[in-house]
Amino acid sequence: MFTSMFLHGDIVHLIMNMWFFYVVADNCEKALGHVGFLLTYIASGLFATFLHLISSIVAAMVLNGMGLYNTYKILEISCLGASGAIFGMIGVYGTLFPKTKLAILGNPLSGSSAVSKTIDASKFIALYIIAEITYGIYSIINPLGGDSTAHFAHIGGFIIGIVVAYIYVWRKETKEKANKK
């Protein structure tokens, strides 16, 4: 469960993870501190793997029990890569920096500019999580077996990131109140 957070399936997987990491990591580390950042990364990655495992087993048991189709494809989806841990950082980022503007890249082949528009981090991340939930459910109910992405690992990491961010905000507010007294 631990080492899978540092491995990747292919070069595209690695590039995508590092791009998201590049966008959110510095602000998250500055807010949480070095140790808090590392602990959040590890906790997000571990919970991501756990949620992927549980969701795969439960989905296979339920669908197999319903006699819908051969559910072993669900159990073959590997949980490999830093995506779950990085989604934890995305959860932290979206919670602590919701109004930060993110640039959405345009299609360079269409003749448009490199940045076609900006969007608040909270809105972008909300849309991305909705997409992950949708893809996760689709990968379970698709009779052809869906894709080979561990979408529920992404969701698991995101959940831990949000929890950590709210704990961080609560502790910060508690400290500020104590200092005022």
CA distances from 32 to 21, 89, 178 (A): 15, 10, 20
Overall number of domains in the chain: 1
What DSSP line would sit under 62-94, residue for residue?
HHHHTT-S-THHHHT----SSHHHHHHHHHHHH
Is 72 contained in some domain? Answer: yes
Has residue 105 been placed in a domain?
A: yes
Q: Please tell me the distance from the alpha carbon of residue 44 to that of residue 1, in angstroms, as a whole number.
A: 11
Q: Which of 13-22, 52-61, 94-103, 167-176 has the lowest mean pLDDT?
A: 52-61
Give the domain extent around 50.
3-174
Confidence of residue 12 (pLDDT cuts 50, 70, 90): confident
Measured CA to CA, the distance from residue 79 to residue 56 in angstroms comes to 11
Residue 47 lies in a domain: yes
pLDDT at 85: 92
Strand partners, 119: 102
How confident is the model at residue 62, as a pLDDT? 75
Judge whether 49 lies within some domain. Answer: yes
Question: What's the pLDDT tens digit per position in 28-79?
Answer: 999 999 999 999 999 999 999 899 888 878 877 777 666 655 555 556 666 7
Q: Would you call 115 helix, strand, or coil by DSSP?
A: strand
In a domain, 70, yes or no: yes
Q: Is 62 among the domain residues?
A: yes
Is 181 a domain residue? Answer: no
Domain assignment present for residue 180? The answer is no
pTM for this predicted structure:
0.82
167 pLDDT exceeds 90?
yes
Higher-pLDDT residue of 20 and 70 is 20
Q: How far apart are CA 14 and CA 83, in angstroms?
A: 9
Report pLDDT for 165: 96
pLDDT at 2: 73
| Cα 64 to chain centroid, rounded | 28
